[in-house]
Structure 1
Amino acid sequence: MDYSKYTMSFKDLGFVLLKSAAVTLVIAYLFYDSIIPLIIFPLIFVYIFRQYKAEAVIKQKQRLTEEFMNALKILSANLLAGYSVENAWKEAEGEMHMMYGENSLMLAEIRDMNRKIKLNQTFEQVLSEFADRTEVEDIVNFADIFSFAKRSGGSFVDIIESTTYRMWTKYDTNRQIEVSVSAKKLEQKTMNYIPIVLLAFLKIASYDYMSALYRNFTGIIFMTICLGAYAMAIKLANRILSVNIGISK
């Protein structure tokens, strides 16, 4: 599976379609009071479609990272119990199934890796191939450390245990950061709707006052500038509050 891509379901497409239609209608009605702007619907659909897929890829990688960290903890515990790497990873398959069920991304990967190991591929090789496909920083780093530990001739189990501890510490720190930022993200999403609500209120309650902004060249230019500034403010706020630590290389 290529984790840098996301396959849209019919439900996803329906959501994107409805959101695109809503945004187009808001722009046409509140900013221009005309049906002519409806022609930009395809552009808005393409933009929202790409944005939705990008966000879905990030969530997919976040889910994989969480499951991988738990698989890593299981691997470390099995190695301390005296299992070989191959047997420790085989045991992790059953434990991951109990934790996440059949819908687990990592469970499918573990099964595929165990199948390749049975075909005489090394764990180091299948882990490296998996890390390259995910393009997730934590997984790539662990694969590199694992390869180094195998070649170094030192205490392999101790290196893996200490690496697991450090990675979990970093992962927990990142999660705490995301939780602390989530409240600000909610505030930002709420603030995004305030200008639209105010504009809708003014247009409904005081249409005569707002009518000077519609169906004339000066009004169209002014409302276009306002729309551009509004879009840029949302984009800037999203960029400031974006926290995707440890997801991509």
Structure 2
Amino acid sequence: MDYSRYSMSTKDWGIVFIKSMAATVIIAYLFYDSPIVVIAFPAVFAYCAKLCRQEGVRRQKEKLNEEFMNVLKVLSSNMLAGYSVENAWQEAEKEMEFMYGNDSLMLSEIQEMNRQIKMNQTFEAVLSEFAHRSSLEDIVNFSDIFSFAKRSGGRFVDIIESTTYRMWTKYDTNRQIEVAVSAKRLEQKTMNYIPIFLLAFLKLSSRDYMSALYGNLIGVIFMSTCLLAYAGAIKLAKKFLQVGIGI
């Protein structure tokens, strides 16, 4: 599975259609007061679909990262108990099935990796291939550290244990930051709608005042500038409040 891509469901397409239609109508009515702007619907729809795919990829990778961290804890515990890395990985498959059921990204990955290991592929090779497909920083780093520790020999299990501890510390810190930022993110989403409400209020309560902005070139340029500034502010605020997972 390529985790840099997201396959949109029928529900996703329906939500995108509704959001695109609503956005197009709002832009046409509030910013330009012209039904002609509705012809921009295909472009708005394509942009909303792109945003949906990006959000889908982000959620997909967050889910994969969370499940991988739990697998890492199981793997480290099994290796400390004396299992070889291959046997520890097989035990991790059972644990993931118990924890997440069949609705698990990592479970299918572990099953495929165990199948390749049984076909005489090395664990380092299948882990490296998975890390490359996931493109997640934590998984790539663990793959590199695992390969180095395997080649260098010595206190292999201790290296894996300490690596797991450090990665879990980082993961917990990111989760705490996410909780702290979530309230601000909700505030930001609420603030996004305030300019629209203000513009709608002015248009409904002061038609004569707003009419100067419609039906002329200067008004179109001014409202287009406002629309671009509004979209840019939303994008910038979203970027400020984004907590990365090493994507």
TM-score range, shorter chain: over 0.9
Query: What residue number does 1:210 align with?
Result: 210
Query: What residue number does 1:137 align with?
Result: 137
Spell out, residue by residue over 1:169-221, the C-alpha distance to the aligned partner (whole angstroms, 9 max, x if none).
01111111111111111111111100001111121222233222212222222
Query: What residue number does 1:227 align with?
Result: 227
Query: What residue number does 1:3 align with?
Result: 3
More off after superposition, 223-232 vs 81-90: 223-232
Spell out, residue by residue over 1:62-106, the C-alpha distance to the aligned partner (whole angstroms, 9 max, x if none).
100000000000000001111111111101111111111101000
Query: What residue number does 1:74 align with?
Result: 74
**1:85-234 correspondence runs (5 A):** 85-234=85-234
Q: What residue ranges of structure 2 are gaps of 5+ in the alignment? A: none
Shift of 1:243: 1.7
Counterpart residue type for residue 216 of structure 1: N
Counterpart residue type for residue 29 of structure 2: Y
For 1:213, what is the secondary structure of its paired residue?
coil
Q: When the two structures are aligned, how many residues end up with a matched partner?
A: 247
Spell out, residue by residue over 1:152-176, the C-alpha distance to the aligned partner (whole angstroms, 9 max, x if none).
1111111100000000001111111
Query: In the aligned structure 2, how far is the partner of 1:78 from the partner of 1:221?
Result: 65
Query: In the aligned structure 1, how far is the partner of 2:212 from the partner of 2:124?
Result: 69
Contact 1:58 1:244 in 2 (8 A): no
Contact 1:150 1:156 in 2 (8 A): yes
Query: In the aligned structure 2, how far is the partner of 1:240 from the partner of 1:197?
Result: 24
More off after superposition, 234-243 vs 9-18: 234-243
Query: In the aligned structure 2, how far is the partner of 1:153 from the partner of 1:105?
Result: 31
For 2:212, what is the secondary structure of its paired residue?
helix
Counterpart residue type for residue 41 of structure 1: F
Counterpart residue type for residue 50 of structure 2: R
Query: In the aligned structure 2, how far is the partner of 1:226 from the partner of 1:146?
Result: 52
Query: What residue number does 1:54 align with?
Result: 54
Runs of 4+ in structure 1 displaced over 4 angstroms?
none
Counterpart residue type for residue 199 of structure 2: L
Spell out, residue by residue over 1:10-43, the C-alpha distance to the aligned partner (whole angstroms, 9 max, x if none).
1111111111111100000011111011111111
Query: What residue number does 2:36 align with?
Result: 36
Counterpart residue type for residue 195 of structure 2: P
Counterpart residue type for residue 23 of structure 1: A
More off after superposition, 70-79 vs 218-227: 218-227
Counterpart residue type for residue 114 of structure 1: N
Counterpart residue type for residue 219 of structure 2: G
Q: TM-score, normalised by structure 1?
A: 0.96
For 1:17, what is the secondary structure of its paired residue?
helix
CA RMSD of aligned residues (A): 1.0
Query: In the aligned structure 2, how far is the partner of 1:17 from the partner of 1:226?
Result: 24
Contact 2:68 2:106 in 1 (8 A): yes
